[in-house]
Amino acid sequence: MDNRQVILKKLHTGIVSGEEKTTRDMVQEALDIGIDPVEIMEKGLIPAIREVGAKFEKMEIFLTGMIMSADAMKAGMNILLPKVSKERMQERGIAVVGTVKGDIHEIGKNILSALLTAAGFDVHDLG
């Protein structure tokens, strides 16, 4: 397994484990060795958060684990999004998301926002 695959695997593990620091460190390390930000999203972040969603659906993880993973995903996306040129992201449309502050659905809204952004949507998060 080459260095790039090792970093993407650690990134995946960081998100599934809900480790924000690991996720930030691995995203930065991936960028430092020249992995494209979109590739980091497509091969690291998105598959990991999908795995978390599947585990939550099967009741293999609790809500707290889902929240921690969503926060780790958000931490990674916050580093990556400024590095992605608008030309690289195929804009697919505009999405507006929001929920009542403190509502449990805020978790899903944040995950949805991250996935839509990674997919090329211009997301306006109303909070």
pTM: 0.75
Neighbouring residues of 16: CB distance < 8 A, sequence distance ≥ 6: 48, 51, 52, 55, 69
Q: Where is 77: in which H helix or E strand? A: helix 63-80
Question: Which stretches of 9-114 are assigned E, i.e. beta strand?
Answer: 93-97
Neighbour tally for 10: CB within 10 Å:
17
pLDDT at residue 89, rounded to an integer: 57
pLDDT at residue 12, rounded to an integer: 94
- Return the sign of the alpha-carbon dihedral for residues 109, 79, 29, 23: negative
pLDDT at residue 111, rounded to an integer: 73
pLDDT at residue 10, rounded to an integer: 94
pLDDT at residue 71, rounded to an integer: 87
Chain centroid, CA 74 distance in Å: 5
pLDDT at residue 1, rounded to an integer: 72
* pLDDT tens digits in sequence order for the chain, 127 residues long: 788 999 999 999 999 999 999 999 999 999 999 998 888 988 999 899 889 888 988 999 988 888 889 889 889 988 988 887 665 556 678 889 988 877 777 777 877 777 777 677 888 888 7
Q: CATH number of the domain at 3-125, out of 3.40.50.10490, 3.40.190.100, 1.10.1240.10, 3.40.250.10?
A: 1.10.1240.10
